Amino acid sequence: ETFYTDPTVYFLSLHQSPHYPGTGSVNERGSDDGEGYTLNVPLPSATPRVDYLEAFDRALEKTLKDFSPEFVLVSAGFDVMAQDPLGGMLLEPQDLYVMTRRIVEGTAADCNGKVVALLEGGYNPPRVGQGVVAVIRGLAGLEQP
């Protein structure tokens, strides 16, 4: 909600729905000057990996068409990975790597590498570790794990 009315911040969220806290519908797009600067992509539990990546690609393409970021802050929720006890998604470390690379490459002209990822969720420590390694390798431009 902090940036919901702010046109200088673009908020993109892919998330499981329905899920706590129950926000993030496609109709929540920002308000006032920030109208259109929020893009929510709610996905059902167990969305197939290929469908998740396609939704991500469409959302990222729209975001980069609508907005030219000076830097990107990724709230990396690792509970999207398969085998997470609280999440219901099926992503693998290589998917996180691919998404990270697409963000870095897609924003290179505007951000010049200013992409930061923060750990947000994930409740299977070994899987979180695999996901973190994949994201860091993606940020650094290293080979896929």
Which CATH number fits the domain that encloses residue 70?
A: 3.40.800.20
pLDDT at 12: 96
CA distance 99 to 78: 13
Determine, yes or no, domain membership for 145: no
pLDDT digits (tens, 9 = 90+) for 96-126: 999 999 999 999 999 998 999 999 999 999 9
How many CA atoms does the CB half-sphere of 105 hold within 13 Å?
A: 11
Whole-prediction pTM: 0.94
Determine, yes or no, domain membership for 2: no
pLDDT at 23: 83
Answer whether residue 19 shows pLDDT above 80.
no
Listed residue (80, 64, 62, 63) closest to 15, CA to CA: 80
Determine, yes or no, domain membership for 16: yes
Q: How confident is the model at residue 22 (pLDDT cuts 50, 70, 90)?
A: confident
pLDDT at 20: 67
Domain that holds residue 104: 11-140
Determine, yes or no, domain membership for 1: no
Task: Give CA separation, 49 vs 61, 62, 91, 112, 128, in Å.
Answer: 18, 20, 6, 29, 17
Determine, yes or no, domain membership for 45: yes
Number of structural domains (the chain) is 1
| Average pLDDT for the chain | 95
pLDDT at 18: 85
Q: What is the mean pLDDT of residues 81-107?
A: 97
